[in-house]
Structure 1
Amino acid sequence: MTRATLSATLQPLPTLDRARQVTSALAHYIADVQLKAGDRLPAERELMATLAVGRSTIREAIRHFQALGVIETRKGSGTYLLRPISPDTVHLPLSLDTTRLRDVLLQTLQVRRGIECEAGMVAAQMRTADDLVIIEDKLVTMETVHLEKGSSGPEDLAFHLAVYDATHNPLFRQILEQMRESFEHFWASPFDRKDFARRSFPFHRTLFDAIAAQDPEGARRETLKILAVVEEDIKEMSQ
């Protein structure tokens, strides 16, 4: 593929929200040139030059498509389309009005409650011994950071992602990827309070225990305890 052909459908992007714009631009490009399953996408360096963005931005967009299960990267070969997509068929990241943080967190919590309760129950049924090793490793890291710093943002997210992966249903992680912008507010010291949801910390261990014991109802119960603390803190700290 020549640079002229690539430039005909892709243009340099403005500076705001680059990763999301790269995701949208690639969806348009795939549709415009009618790439089919198995076709190779332009190389990173071509996309960087054409869109005028950095390597990390390109890779973030690629990771988004990988999470959706529509592309795969083959080491030493390139990135390939697994199924055709377009701006109308690929779900781009969802977002909410973050100027009203309290409302955003409560709305996101409603979605989390349904997804995470179900994910915990499915993980308890489907988890393997290898899954338990990964979940506990993320949990121990979270516990260590929490005890040292009093908070554990990225580590908390890594624990929940490991639970999602233990369901062996890729849709759970894909849904989280769709709402990552909104969900990340839960792991970014909302209201500038590092102690946000600190009281939920012990229930992560009991959630792991329920998953290890293959106890779906127990996993649901412990997840609800975590989210109840989160809801209480949102309402209290936003007053």
Structure 2
Amino acid sequence: MTEGLMVIMARMRPVSRKPVYEQVSDRLREFIDENGLQPGDKLMTERELAAELSVGRSTVREAITALRAQGLVEVRHGDGIYLLQRSDDLITTLAEELVATHVDHPYIWEARQAIEVQCARLAAVRAGGEDLAAMESALDRMAAEIEAGQPALDGDRRFHLAVVQASHNPILIQLVAGIRESFDKTSETSLTRAGQPARSLAEHRAVFEAIVAGNPVLAADRMLDHLVGTTDDLLRIGNVKRPAKGRADAPTDPQA
């Protein structure tokens, strides 16, 4: 290179951060939905799937393993791959059970903490430009709603969903989609309290900053602080009752 000569090069496109096996898993879900396959139906073989999707059989095997972990398919050695249940059936069943117990808000908040903290952690590593734009748009929506004297429910919902989507984890995304109604109930309980919308917006911005910075630990910590702080406030003012201690169906608190 000639000294003093500035060479201008085109920037390289970023590599997709989503593992190939996750993309294969997504394609299989689409195939199941588009073809209306039902529990008991047989899927293509690993060899056929690999050829259809132009990937290696080891990648197909990873995708099938992920679907097995979700209880969606069964591998019968020497026979083939069979659909056990559709993903929407699985999530619907879980959602119905959770919504039926929505009066036990602490259970739902605990689920939110487990799921959304991990989503924030993953988002800090995997979020792309569109993901960040969706989060920023949600924050702007919250600010506009607060300015108009509203509880900012729509902006809040959009932000949390954007973080979940930015995790690029299909299992977490499907799970949240199925139990969104229960999550919305907890947000409504929180955001209709005086002063909470503005506090939530500030905390959301802090989570967003950590995700933009690519700091998974900080993003997870800030999301946890946001959710735990909101839960503790609700319990302290008596709007939500904790399950009675000693109940047979009550989970043991590991921090007790």
Q: Which bin holds the TM-score, normalised by the shorter protein?
A: 0.5 to 0.7
Structure 1 residues 100 and 114, CA gap change in structure 2 (3 angstroms) = closer
Q: CA deviation at 1:146?
A: 2.3
Q: Which moved more, 1:126-135 or 1:88-97?
A: 88-97
Match of 2:229 in 1: 229
Deviations 1:22-77 (A, max 9, x none): xxxx9xx9648x77779xxxxxxxxxxxxxxxxxxxxxxxxxxxxx9x9xxxxxxx
Q: CA deviation at 1:204?
A: 0.2
2:140 corresponds to which letter in structure 1?
Answer: V
Structure 2 residue 199 is the aligned partner of structure 1 residue 195: no
CA contact (8 A) 1:30 1:85 kept: no
Structure 1 residues 116 and 207, CA gap change in structure 2 (3 angstroms) = same
1:43-122 equivalent positions in 2, closer than 5 A: 84=83, 86=85, 90-91=89-90, 92=92, 93-96=95-98, 101=103, 104-122=104-122
> Structure 2: which 5+ runs fail to align?
1-32, 45-69, 73-81, 241-256
Partners in 2 of 1:88 and 1:150 — Cα distance? 36
Deviations 1:77-115 (A, max 9, x none): xxxxxx9564799312243366773xx211111111111
CA contact (8 A) 1:117 1:220 kept: yes
**Over the residues paired in the alignment, what is the CA RMSD in angstroms?**
3.4
CA contact (8 A) 1:142 1:152 kept: yes
Q: CA deviation at 1:134?
A: 1.6
Partners in 2 of 1:166 and 1:201 — Cα distance? 19
> Structure 1: which 5+ runs fail to align?
1-25, 39-67, 71-82
Match of 1:152 in 2: 152
1:238 corresponds to which letter in structure 2?
Answer: N
Match of 1:161 in 2: 161
Q: CA deviation at 1:125?
A: 0.5
Q: CA deviation at 1:189?
A: 3.7
TM-score, normalising length: structure 2: 0.55
Match of 2:137 in 1: 137
Partners in 2 of 1:118 and 1:99 — Cα distance? 24
Match of 1:212 in 2: 212
Structure 1 residues 131 and 100, CA gap change in structure 2 (3 angstroms) = closer
Structure 1 residues 228 and 86, CA gap change in structure 2 (3 angstroms) = closer
CA contact (8 A) 1:123 1:166 kept: yes
Match of 1:238 in 2: 239
Structure 1 residues 129 and 88, CA gap change in structure 2 (3 angstroms) = closer
Partners in 1 of 2:152 and 2:234 — Cα distance? 17
Partners in 2 of 1:188 and 1:164 — Cα distance? 19
Instruction: Name the count of aligned residue pairs.
Output: 166
**Whose Rg is larger?**
2
1:171 corresponds to which letter in structure 2?
Answer: I
Q: CA deviation at 1:181?
A: 2.8
Structure 1 residues 147 and 98, CA gap change in structure 2 (3 angstroms) = farther
Structure 1 residues 211 and 99, CA gap change in structure 2 (3 angstroms) = closer
Partners in 2 of 1:88 and 1:176 — Cα distance? 13
CA contact (8 A) 1:197 1:233 kept: no
CA contact (8 A) 2:99 2:182 kept: no
Structure 1 residues 84 and 131, CA gap change in structure 2 (3 angstroms) = same
